[in-house]
Structure 1
């Protein structure tokens, strides 16, 4: 008996994002054939008290794309054009082998995989998984030169350590600020009461990070963030699922009212892509056990599908930027 995905014409590889072809990030011969390489990682820095607290996130997001899988020529009305331009090849390399009992090894595996994709000239897209994943991604981008981070998150992540761990939860932007190739950090979506104290907020401001809270979104905050991105600059797009309002993204650690709508997130990311080149993406802190009837997974998959389309258009038209 046909189900919904059959009626939509879903096809392609089973278990991959959007039914994309399978890839192998460790295969140096195959890597250059891809323009975009999707990978998953359940964790980078787990904690003894909670373990790999977002395990299963990558596969849940893949499952959220299943109804529309298999035909990248379908129209994505978020871009008013095909999912991917002709000639652009995206692959799904599956989940990286990470060890919840060995955080340094897990971070090393992520850093190595991202580095291989970048060296091959492709754009890495990492699905998570816990919210420390951006640290090894950003470390791997050092050879690429000056980097602007656009973080879309409910929290600013400037704590120096949590339970003695300096490379984990709530410390991603603090560690990023210590990387020489990171020249700009734009943080959009902070709201409510999180783990940051005044010391963390002051440290972020002293470094030069620009923090645009969620309540500024209806009052020019989105355009302000977009205008800060240097023309032609390289962007690391770091998205924590809790940036989105819990009404559309329940599958997070700490649902907090007042988050970005899907339309606001789309406007921001499209605007960023019109100014700079998306050089890497992470979409993290998706907790499958807190999802509601798969709604959060579908939202995450829809947003990621559009991001892939934006990257594909940039690859296809490197001189004209992202024309949609």
Structure 2
């Protein structure tokens, strides 16, 4: 397993009362990971992107944005006990997407054994297969995927950022709830496939009408699983946040996403979290990167409740 050393985390404020993530997140190694409630793992890879590339730059830019955030949440209190294991190295030189997935899968399997909640910072959506598949051997698994798309495409040749949940179902995934999906962004064949697997789709429109009811509808299909894995593809946000490979109109607002991931994080069955497809070169004034960093902060606030 090849991880580069974590960057040095420092706060950006001169006010000693400003406790920031830059002051709280500590550089960690495998041997110290169990000292933390959660550990970050950067996954700089976008070799499987169907659309516009740029997600390989996500991990470092998201870290930089997160470092400047205050740690205090008004309802949950301050976020503490977070380590950073650094970035997975070498995947950019892999001969194929399948080989890259195998490399990330090897890292994820080890990280899931460390005793701290893994927070994978991607990177493209093909990594969802690598990050979640080691959990399939540890009990029943359900995924909540915040995404504009279903990502259940058939694998034709090499996997892509559109195939991870087809791959997971074929490997034994028990259930999938997609939250924030957009009308006119998927094919009927893939919607039918997800329905045949017993999964569910909660549209962005449904979230806009009733966020709490939408989350209840999503988790209803996950009642019988032992483990929950939470995935956020940043393109679940409206196209006003353009820093992803496939931004589209009609998506979630950040406030809705923050609320939903924070509530999900409080479920005792949560065993992992990821954020994927944040592409800084495609962003406007850093607003998508900032939303991604805050999504991680809200999830950690809910998890440490």
Q: TM-score, with normalisation over the residues of structure 2?
A: 0.85
Alignment root-mean-square deviation, CA? 2.6
Structure 2, unaligned runs of 5 or more = 1-10
* Structure 1 runs not aligned, ≥5 long: 314-324
Contact 1:189 1:260 (8 Å CA) reproduced: yes
C-alpha change, 1:118 and 1:60, in structure 2 (3 Å) is: same
How far, CA to CA, are the matches of 2:191 and 2:143 in structure 1? 17
CA displacement 1:222-244 (0-9 Å, x = unmatched): 33224444288421001100011
**Paired residue for 1:136, among 126, 130, 134?**
130
| Deviation of 1:52 (Å) | 5.9
Deviation at 1:174, TM superposition (A): 1.0
Residue 319 of structure 1 is matched in structure 2 by none
Give the aligned partner of residue 110 of structure 2.
116
Instruction: Please report how far the alpha carbon of residue 290 of structure 1 lies from its aligned counterpart in structure 2 after TM superposition.
Output: 1.3
Contact 2:46/2:56 (8 A) holds in 1: no
Name the structure 2 match of 1:265: 257
Deviations 1:59-107 (Å, cap 9, x if unpaired)? 11111113226xxxx4213x441123xxxx3211111103324134432
In structure 2, distance between residues paired with 1:175 and 1:135: 7
* Aligned 8 A contact 2:54 2:282 in 1: no
1:278 is the counterpart of 2:279: no
Residues 131 and 285 in structure 1, CA contact (< 8 A), matched pair in contact too = yes
Out of 78, 85, 88, the residue aligned to residue 82 of structure 1 is 78
Give secondary structure in 1 for the equivalent of 2:171.
coil
- Does 34-43 or 267-276 show the bigger shift? 267-276
Checking the alignment, whether the CA contact within 8 Å between 2:53 and 2:245 is kept in structure 1 is no
Partner secondary structure for residue 55 of structure 2: coil
Please say if residues 192 and 257 of structure 1, whose CA atoms lie closer than 8 Å, have aligned partners that are also in contact: no
* Distance in 2 between residues matched to 1:274 and 1:34, nearest whole Å: 17
1 CA distance for matches of 2:14 and 2:242? 27
Find out whether 1:20 has 2:20 as its counterpart: no
Residue of structure 2 equivalent to 1:146: 140
Which residue of 180, 187, 204 maps to 2:194? 204
TM-score, with structure 1 as normaliser: 0.80
1:131 deviates by: 1.1
- The C-alpha deviation readout for 1:252-295, integer Å capped at 9, x for no partner, is 11221111122221332233234442201110001111111112
* Secondary structure of 2:91's aligned partner: coil
Equivalent residue for 1:184? 175
* Contact 2:262–2:301 under 8 Å retained in 1: no
Q: Which residue of 2 aligns with 1:214?
A: 204
Match of 2:238 in 1: 245
Q: Is this contact kept in 2: 1:18–1:62, CA < 8 A?
A: no
Q: Which moved more, 1:36-45 or 1:171-180?
A: 36-45
Cα separation, partners in 2 of 1:264 and 1:234, compared to 1, 3 Å: same
Q: Where does residue 61 of structure 2 map in the other structure?
A: 60
Cα distance in 1 between the residues matched to 2:23 and 2:55: 21
